[in-house]
Amino acid sequence: MNEESLKEAIRQELPHFLRTDPDLRTYILELTRREYAGREETQDRFYDLLGELRRDREEQTRKWEEQNRKWEEQNHKWEEQNRKWEVNQEELRRLHEESMALAKKHERSIGALGARWGLQSEKAFRDALAGILEQSFGVQVINVNEYDDRGVVFGRPDQVELDVIIKNGLLLICELKSSIDKAGMYIFERKARFYEERHQRKANRLIVISPMIDARAQKVAERLGIETYGDSTEVEVL
């Protein structure tokens, strides 16, 4: 049996052995434990995000209460303070927009954890990030799904899915995910090169947007020239 045949046999039989052999399952888990975050670590991050969201909301509430107090003090001299009132109104709108944007950002971060635990679909999370890009920059995020018959990306023929943005003659290739690790960053780079070769066009920018980017994945991105953002609202001008 050659190496490829052995690999294929392992792929075929490993799921069955993992289901039926507790000792083997434990051994495999121990071997791969360092490659992913444990449930306890993920839960800690989840509760940290909840605490941060709560503190941010309390701070915004305090600012609103302080602004309301200023309104009451100025009511008796409304006419002479009309100009200041207009300025305050603008500040209120700004604070409200910042508060809503911050709340939505944290909701997306919590949603990313949900997608990672299977509580919501990865597609729903991707659609949310794509929607923000389209709204903020007036672009269309095109989901491309093409067949890699030579196995360039995954080492075997398979479907390759990625997002592209074409604006003013520029080509941007994006990865919108709830989380991404080192292997995922390498796969994205291979998917981008596959698209470039398939369409005979060089991408101007490679962009990864994810609230949960592994530290090792970040180093890979820097080495490969991939831009990374924690949220769609953080993306530089397209």
Q: State the pLDDT confidence band at 145, using cuts at 50, 70 and 90.
A: very high
Q: Are 149 and 157 in contact (CB under 8 A)?
A: yes
Q: From 233, 235, 43, select the one nearest 128 (Cα to Cα).
A: 233
Query: Range of 197's domain?
Result: 122-234
| Shared domain check, 230 and 126 | yes
| 54 confidence band (pLDDT: 50, 70, 90) | confident
* Same domain assignment for residues 105 and 203: no
Of 116, 131, 161, which residue sits at a domain end? 116
Give the residue among 181, 171, 237, 176 at the shortest CA–CA distance from 204: 171
- Express as a percent the part of the chain with pLDDT over 70: 81
First to last CA, the chain: 52
**Torsion on CA atoms 211, 214, 215, 218, rounded to nearest 10:** -70
Amino acid occupying residue 196: E
Strand order of the β-sheet with 227-229 is 142-148, 158-167, 170-176, 205-209, 227-229
Q: CA dihedral defined by 37, 45, 184, 162, rounded to 10 degrees? A: 150
Segment among 16-30, 58-72, 138-152, 207-221 with least mean pLDDT: 16-30
Residue 24 shares a structural domain with residue 86: no
Shared-domain flag, residues 126 and 225 = yes
Question: Are residues 144 and 229 both part of a single domain?
Answer: yes
Same domain, 28 and 108: no
With 50 as the cut, is the pLDDT of residue 43 above it? yes
Q: Are residues 213 and 138 in the same domain?
A: yes
Helix (H, G, I), strand (E, B) or coil at 231: coil
156 and 59 within one domain: no
Are the beta carbons of 117 and 123 closer than 8 angstroms? no
Angle at 142 between CA 147 and CA 167, to 5 degrees: 125
* Count of structural domains within the chain: 3
What number is the average pLDDT over the span 109-133? 63
Is 140 found in the same domain as 99? no
Regarding whether 224 and 131 lie in a shared domain, the answer is yes
Name the residue type at position 202: K
Please tell me whether residues 30 and 91 are part of one structural domain: no
Q: Yes or no: say if 180 and 187 are a contact pair by the CB < 8 Å rule.
A: no
169-208: pLDDT as tens digits: 899 999 998 889 999 999 999 999 999 999 999 999 999 9
* CATH number of the domain encompassing residue 218: 3.40.1350.10
pTM here is 0.51
Is 173 found in the same domain as 100? no
List CB contacts of 102: < 8 A, sequence separation 6 or more: 56, 60
Last residue of a domain, one of 72, 93, 116: 116
